Chain A
Amino acid sequence: MITSKFAELEGANNLKARIKEVTSHVPFENLCLSPQCDYASTEEVNKITHDDQLRPSQLGILNSLQHNPITDFSTRWSVFRRQACAAITKEAFLMMTLIQAVGKGCANRPEDVKSLHRRLMEIGKIPCYVSKGTMDDQIMKGIMEVQKHFMRTPDGVISVNRTTHKFLNNWSIKKVSPGVQLPGKLKTAWDLVNPLLPKGSYCTSGYRSAEHQRRILHRFYKTKYKAAIIRKYGQTKYDAALTDMLANEDDILSMVRGVGQAIAKPGRSAHQRGKAIDVGGPSTIDNQQVSIIRRVARANPSVLSGKVIKERNGCVHFEIL
Chain B
Amino acid sequence: MRTLRNPMNTKSKTAWVACACLLMLSCTPLIGNGLSPDPVQTNQAGKTSPYFPLSVGNRWRYSCFVEGEYTFDKTLTITAREKRQGRAYYRGELQVGDDPSSLELYYHVDELGGVHMSVDPMLTDDTLLVTMNPLPGDRIGNLRVASEQDVETPGTDGIKALLIENFSLDDPQLHEERRMEWEGRYYARGIGLVIEADGLGGSCSLKEFHQGTP
Residues of A whose CB lies within 8 Å of any CB of B are: 175, 177-180, 202, 204-206, 208, 212-213, 216, 227-228, 231-232, 257-264, 269-271, 276, 278, 280, 282-283, 307, 309, 311-315, 317
Contact = CB atoms under 8 A, between A and B. Distances in A.
B67 A177 contact: no
Interface of B: 64-68, 71-72, 74, 94, 96-97, 99, 101, 103-104, 119-120, 125, 149, 169-170, 172-177, 179-182, 184, 195-205
Contact of B72 (A178, A257, A269): A257
A223 to B, nearest CB: 11
Given A205-B179, A208-B176, A307-B68, A227 B201 contact: no
Those 6 A-B pairs whose CB atoms lie nearest each other, nearest first: A312-B197, A312-B203, A179-B176, A262-B64, A262-B202, A309-B68
Contacts of B72: 257, 262
A114 B65 CA distance: 50
B172 to A, nearest CB: 4
A312 B71 CA distance: 15
A317 B99 CA distance: 30
A216 B200 CA distance: 9
A311 B201 contact: yes
Given A202-B172, A228-B103, A258-B99, A312 B67 contact: no
A212 B180 contact: yes
A302 to B, nearest CB: 21
A178 B180 CA distance: 13
A317 B172 contact: no
Contacts of B68: 307, 309, 311, 317
A311 B172 contact: no
Given A227-B125, A307-B68, A311-B68, A269 B201 contact: yes
A311 B119 contact: no
Nearest to B125: A227
B101 A312 contact: no
28 contacts: A177-B174, A178-B175, A204-B176, A212-B177, A212-B180, A216-B200, A227-B120, A231-B104, A232-B101, A257-B71, A260-B74, A260-B96, A260-B204, A262-B202, A263-B66, A263-B198, A270-B67, A271-B67, A276-B67, A278-B201, A280-B169, A309-B67, A311-B68, A311-B197, A312-B184, A312-B195, A313-B184, A315-B169
Q: Which of A205, A231, A257, A312 has the most CB of B within 10 A?
A: A312
A175 B176 contact: no
A213 B177 CA distance: 10
A220 B199 CA distance: 13
A10 to B, nearest CB: 31
A133 to B, nearest CB: 39
Q: Which of A212, A260, A280 has the most CB of B within 10 A?
A: A260
A133 B120 CA distance: 78
A313 B181 CA distance: 11
A271 to B, nearest CB: 7
A235 to B, nearest CB: 13
Contacts of A175: 172
A261 B202 contact: yes
B197 to A, nearest CB: 3
A205 B205 contact: no
Contact of B200 (A257, A260, A264): A264
Given A206-B176, A313-B198, 15 more contacts: A177-B173, A177-B176, A204-B172, A212-B177, A216-B181, A228-B103, A257-B71, A258-B103, A261-B202, A262-B71, A262-B72, A262-B202, A269-B67, A312-B184, A317-B67
B91 to A, nearest CB: 13
B201 A317 contact: yes
